[in-house]
């Protein structure tokens, strides 16, 4: 069975910012929540009120194809994980993408119902489809987009503000890219039950989540024949930082081995922030060739996905920083108005 | 079903103390709610028990015996 790799990514991080102060001014936050955000270092998030979601998708897809010189005919699958439905009902976004980029060989479909874990599940599905049904040169693209159309969708209490963005990543069995070594997901109906904090003094807000997080990580590490000590970094999605602090405590690892710096910059972007973080890790040089790392997502209701990866010797896609990529994305967008 | 002795062994491992009995209070053993979650994780993983249900509440588990009684109630509910 051929080894699957994450070949590279492109991200769209809007230049527009929504400040926590403005959000407070609009009556969307309480003063207490505002103070909590300030304490967590969250001053603003990237938002894009102008650009429709399909254009954001086009932007990152174009960037991915150009930057990595991907022949469209090699793309066998396009998987679109998203949480917020941001497309007009009348629009066939997949047909538009196929036509725009010549993706004639691509089976396009969405991956939903796992909330913020859709993105990692989509990467897993893409790699499994390639393993079983595609040729050695074929690729899968995971293309995530999130755009808030209603103010309520940005609300994350004192923990985060939801931003807008898009991201794409390609997977294949080519010689370059980070190896995908193991994957596990957990969707536990028990975690959907709420109201556990009867006396309100629980230090573990929902302990079902943590039991499943630790179990998932242990299982996936065991499948990869690794120990937690072998893992250089855990790259999670951008949710309440306290979640990862407690997880570090339970896993008995240093807190700084879980990367949470993306939250203050990009905000929570549902299915896009994991890929934004992956991109940032590369740009910031936080992983060396051969390092093992975890991609970890936790969605509302306790839906968990976790993948063990190994950084490539020829590290993909790390030369340009996130800011540069934003600029590149903006240029690509100006040149493509067809959708 | 886990035995009282098995549970005590798990609690010993988590709290790092040898003097643990059924009547020991978690607080006295220096265990906070995070440590109690650690015990639950061990029970789920090592003993392959399905220990969480809608009625679980960490603050009702004051002593090791309370936790054992909770686990026993799960088994009897499953059998009943």
What's B70's domain CATH number? 1.10.1200.10
The pLDDT, as a whole number, for residue B15 is 95
- Residue A185, burial from CB neighbour count under 10 angstroms (0-12, 13-18, 19+): middle
pLDDT band at B45 (very low <50, low <70, confident <90, very high): confident
**How many helices (H) and strands (E) are present in chain A, helices listed first?**
10, 13
Q: For residue A174, report the phi and psi dihedrals to the nearest 5 degrees.
A: -65, 175
Query: Counting one residue from A and one from B, how many pairs have CB atoms under 8 Å apart?
Result: 43
Within A114-206, residue ranges assigned H as helices are 118-133
| pLDDT tens digit sequence for A41-81 | 999 999 999 999 999 999 999 999 999 999 999 999 999 99
What is the arrangement of strands in the sheet containing A75-81, beginning at the earlier edge strand?
Answer: A107-111, A75-81, A139-146, A165-172, A5-12, A178-186, A303-310, A292-299, A231-236
Does B27 lie at the interface with A, CB-CB under 8 angstroms?
Answer: no
| pLDDT tens digit sequence for A222-254 | 999 999 999 999 999 999 999 999 999 999 999
Whether residues B34 and A190 touch (CB distance < 8 A) is answered with no
CA A191 – CA B51 distance, rounded (Å):
12
C-alpha closest to that of A305 among A206, A175, A180: A180
Name the closest residue on chain A to residue B58, using Cα atoms: A202
Q: Which residues are CB-contacts of A186 (< 8 A; sequence separation ≥ 6)?
A: A212, A215, A216, A302, A303, A304, A305
Q: Is the pLDDT of residue A336 over 90?
A: no
Rounded to the nearest 10°, the torsion over CA A88, A89, A95, A100 is -10
Q: For residue A107, report the phi and psi dihedrals to the nearest 5 degrees.
A: -90, 120
Q: What are the chain A neighbours of B38 within 8 Å (beta carbons)? A: 250
**Domain total for chain B?**
1
Task: Quote the domain boundaries for residue B17.
Answer: 4-79
CA A213 – CA A302 distance, rounded (Å):
9
| pLDDT tens digit sequence for A84-109 | 888 887 889 999 999 999 999 999 99
pTM (2 decimals)? 0.88
Q: What are the chain A neighbours of B33 within 8 Å (beta carbons)? A: 202-204, 207
| pLDDT tens digit sequence for A105-117 | 999 999 998 999 9
Does A252 lie at the interface with B, CB-CB under 8 angstroms?
Answer: no
Q: Is the pLDDT of residue A328 over 80?
A: no
CA B6 – CA B46 distance, rounded (Å):
11
C-alpha closest to that of A5 among A171, A240, A220, A231: A171
- Tokens coding B64: 């090791």
pLDDT band at B2 (very low <50, low <70, confident <90, very high): confident
Within a 10 A sphere around the Cβ of A31, how many other Cβ atoms?
8
| Beta strands, E only, chain A | 5-12, 17-19, 44-46, 75-81, 107-111, 139-146, 155-156, 160-161, 165-172, 178-186, 231-236, 292-299, 303-310
CA A87 – CA A234 distance, rounded (Å):
32
Whether residues A210 and B56 touch (CB distance < 8 A) is answered with no
Dihedral sign, Cα of residue A26, residue A274, residue A270, residue A242: negative
Does B76 lie at the interface with A, CB-CB under 8 angstroms?
Answer: no
Judge contact between A158 and A263, C-beta under 8 A: no
Does B37 lie at the interface with A, CB-CB under 8 angstroms?
Answer: yes
Residue A12, min C-alpha distance to chain B (Å): 38
The pLDDT, as a whole number, for residue A244 is 94
Q: Is the pLDDT of residue B39 over 80?
A: yes
CA A231 – CA A247 distance, rounded (Å):
15
pLDDT band at A325 (very low <50, low <70, confident <90, very high): very low
pLDDT band at A196 (very low <50, low <70, confident <90, very high): very low
A203 → closest Cβ in B33, B38, B54: B33
Residue length of chain B: 80
| pLDDT tens digit sequence for A307-319 | 999 999 755 454 3
The pLDDT, as a whole number, for residue A202 is 52
Does A207 lie at the interface with B, CB-CB under 8 angstroms?
Answer: yes
CA A270 – CA A272 distance, rounded (Å):
6
């Amino acid at each position: 069975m051929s080894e699957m790799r994450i070949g590279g990514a492109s991200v769209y991080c809007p230049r527009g910012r929504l400040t926590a102060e403005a959000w407070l001014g609009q009556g969307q936050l309480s003063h207490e929540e505002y103070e909590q955000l300030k304490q967590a270092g969250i001053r603003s998030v990237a938002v894009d009120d102008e650009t429709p979601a399909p254009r954001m998708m086009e932007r990152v897809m174009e960037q991915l194809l150009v930057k990595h010189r991907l022949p469209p005919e090699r793309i066998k699958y396009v998987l679109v994980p998203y949480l917020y439905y941001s497309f007009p009902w009348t629009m066939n976004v997949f047909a538009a993408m196929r036509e725009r980029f010549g993706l004639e060989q691509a089976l396009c479909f969405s991956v939903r119902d796992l909330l913020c874990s859709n993105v990692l599940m989509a990467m897993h599905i893409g790699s499994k489809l390639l393993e079983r049904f595609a040729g050695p040169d074929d690729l899968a693209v995971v293309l995530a987009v999130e755009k808030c159309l209603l103010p309520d969708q940005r609300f994350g209490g004192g923990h985060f503000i939801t931003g807008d963005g898009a991201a794409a990543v390609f997977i294949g069995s080519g010689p370059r890219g980070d190896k995908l070594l193991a994957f596990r997901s957990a969707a536990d109906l028990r975690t959907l039950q709420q109201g556990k904090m009867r006396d309100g003094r629980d230090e573990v807000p929902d302990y079902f989540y943590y039991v499943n997080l630790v179990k998932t990580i242990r299982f996936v590490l065991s499948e990869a024949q690794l120990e937690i000590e072998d893992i250089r970094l855990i790259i999670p999605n951008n949710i309440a930082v306290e979640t990862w602090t407690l997880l570090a405590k339970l896993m008995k690892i240093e807190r700084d081995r879980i990367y949470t710096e993306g939250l203050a910059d990009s905000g929570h972007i549902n299915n896009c922030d994991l890929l934004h973080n992956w991109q940032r890790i590369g740009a910031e040089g936080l992983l060396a060739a051969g390092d093992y790392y975890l991609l970890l997502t936790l969605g509302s209701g306790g839906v968990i996905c976790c993948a063990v990866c190994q950084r490539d010797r020829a590290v993909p896609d790390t030369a340009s920083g996130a800011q540069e990529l934003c600029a590149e994305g903006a240029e690509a967008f100006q040149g493509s108005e067809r959708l | 079903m886990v035995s009282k002795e098995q549970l005590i062994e798990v609690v010993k491992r988590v709290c790092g103390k040898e003097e643990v009995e059924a009547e020991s209070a978690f607080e006295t053993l220096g265990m906070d709610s995070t440590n109690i979650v650690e015990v639950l994780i061990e029970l789920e993983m090592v003993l392959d028990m399905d220990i969480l249900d809608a009625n679980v509440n960490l603050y009702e588990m004051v002593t090791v015996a309370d936790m054992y009684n909770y686990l026993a109630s799960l088994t009897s509910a499953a059998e009943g």
